[in-house]
Amino acid sequence: CKEEVKSHFGFETYSLKPDIDNRRIPLLRDVFRENPNIAINIDLKGGSDELMHEVYKLIIEFQREEITYFGDMNETRNMRAQRMGADAGVRTFASIKYTILICLAYFCCILQFIPFRHYSFWFPFFGREKLNAITQMFGNRCKHRCLARTYRVLTFLMKPMFWHLKRRGVLVMFWNVNDEAEYERALTYSISGILTDTPELIRELSDRRMSNNSLIERELISNNR
């Protein structure tokens, strides 16, 4: 069992907690059994067709067709997963290629005419510090700095696109949201949720925000009396 694991792009390193006795990775069956009503995203990450079929069978067995989103970032394998789950209504997410095509359709002003064939749309979200780290990783060249600035501008311009997809019933998710600054900025967009490598931190931030909102609401009610 690894003591340390790097996150996406290797910007953070996560260490194993010293008080964890059982280091066994839980089976997907166990996860489904312990979390019957929680929505789960499953990225197959290039596994075999047998693995894809076994995941599909578990989704059907636990009757999670409407709260489990499974597929692969590879377009070919993602289409295979979509065909596999079509009859049972198993939900899939957009691949990288499909995500790019949807973004291009938005900037070409034809997105409203294109049917969206998935239930979930994942979009990579990078904060300013992470973008700076990426440019440093590639040598801090001018073209990389320009690409980083272009990404920030395009992401801002795509706010209406996220809202549009949500209006069409698509679950819009930002992934790679791992710190407080990224979390706070992500909330300024019209999204359904986030995918993170730091669930405990994000849960703490979410609870804190809900607590603060409750306090503000009570103060407003008190002032209106």
Residue 100 tokens read as 């790019």
> Which residue is it, tokens 């064939």?
117
What residues are paired with 173 via a beta bridge?
A: 122, 193
- The whole-number pLDDT of residue 2 equals 57
Per-residue pLDDT of the chain (225 residues; tens, 9 = 90+): 556 666 655 566 666 666 666 667 789 999 999 999 988 999 998 888 999 999 999 999 999 999 999 999 999 999 999 999 998 999 999 999 999 999 999 999 999 999 999 999 999 888 777 777 767 766 667 777 787 788 888 888 899 999 999 999 999 999 888 888 889 989 899 899 998 888 888 889 989 888 876 655 555 455 455
CA atoms within 13 A on the CB side of 98: 23
Q: How far is CA 210 from the centre of its chain?
A: 21
- The whole-number pLDDT of residue 24 equals 73
How far lies 187's CA from each of 190, 191, 212, in Å? 7, 7, 15
Residues 54, 76, 154, 110, CA torsion sign: negative
Orientation angle between helical segments 96-107 and 75-85, nearest 10 degrees = 100
| Measured distance CA(175)–CA(93) in Å, rounded | 13
Residue 179 is given by DSSP the state S
